[in-house]
């Protein structure tokens, strides 16, 4: 998926201006085969006006602490299992994930539930296309285009049992547990 990011802000003199107009390349990781994450705008604290287009650049942690926020897109491929390819170098894959999505690997705290993770965030999700399933234990929620989900720091995993990519827009807001 091609993602264009247009950042509006202040030119420093109180005039509205376009600070940036460009594309966001997807982040991928071997441990998340086929998954694409577009890290569009990331803040550790929120203030306006914005005068620096780099203010929303990827931060040192993928999931924000309170009062931070992360905005982006997640593409879940059809048939995802979260099981690494046979013969994969797991140590190298874990190091790669830590480099590309800092702190994300630590949220996958359920070894018997592939893909399951839990964060200290409130997540606002909108399904843009495709169909998918949010699953954990006996809970299964099917979602399709236009559906909204508020995920309140609960363990969960994303699956796509369809034939088309499952694309979500997300805003992750740091929270206190």
Kindly state whether residue 157 falls inside one of the protein's structural domains. yes
Q: For residue 13, is it within any domain? A: no
Give a yes or no: residue 8 inside a domain.
no
Please answer whether residues 128 and 145 qualify as being in contact, where contact means their C-beta atoms are separated by less than 8 angstroms.
yes
Q: Tell me whether residue 15 is in a domain.
A: no
CB 119 within 8 A of CB 109: no
| 108-145: b (≥16 Cβ within 10 Å) or e | bebeebebbbbbebbbbbbbbebbbbbbbeeeeeebee
Residue 28: cis peptide before it, omega within 30 degrees of 0: no
Q: How many domains does the chain have?
A: 1
Q: Is residue 141 part of a domain?
A: yes
- CATH assignment at residue 129: 2.60.120.10
Tell me the C-alpha distance between 169 and 37, whole Å.
Answer: 10
Tell whether pTM > 0.85: yes
Rg (C-alpha) for the chain, rounded Å, is 17
Residue 126 included in any domain: yes
What does each of the 177 residues of the chain score in pLDDT, given as a tens digit?
999 999 999 999 999 999 999 999 999 999 999 999 999 999 999 999 999 989 999 999 999 999 999 999 999 999 999 988 889 899 999 999 999 999 999 999 999 999 999 999 999 999 999 999 999 999 999 999 999 999 999 999 999 999 999 999 999 999 998
Residue at 2 is within a domain: no
Instruction: Note whether residue 121 is domain-resident.
Output: yes
Distance CA 23, CA 68 (A): 23
**Confidence (pLDDT) at 85:** 84
**What pLDDT score was predicted for residue 84?**
84
The structure tokens listed for 115 are 């893909």
Q: Which domain holds residue 109?
A: 26-174
């Amino acid at each position: 998926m091609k993602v264009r990011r247009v950042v509006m802000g202040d030119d420093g003199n109180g005039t509205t201006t376009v600070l940036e107009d460009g594309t966001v390349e997807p982040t991928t990781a071997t441990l998340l085969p086929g998954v694409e994450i577009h890290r569009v705008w990331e803040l550790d604290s929120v203030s306006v006006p914005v005068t620096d287009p780099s203010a929303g650049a990827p931060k040192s942690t993928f999931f924000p602490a309170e009062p931070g926020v992360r905005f982006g897109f997640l593409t879940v491929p059809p048939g995802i299992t979260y099981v690494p390819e046979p013969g994969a170098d797991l140590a190298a894959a874990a190091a790669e994930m830590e480099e590309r999505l800092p702190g994300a690997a630590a949220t996958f705290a359920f070894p018997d539930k592939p893909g399951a993770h839990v964060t200290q965030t409130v997540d606002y999700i909108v399904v843009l296309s495709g169909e998918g399933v949010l699953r954990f234990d006996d809970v299964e929620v099917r979602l399709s285009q236009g559906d909204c989900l508020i995920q309140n720091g609960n363990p969960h995993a994303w699956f796509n049992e369809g034939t088309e990519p499952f694309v979500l827009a997300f805003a992750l807001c740091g929270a206190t547990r």
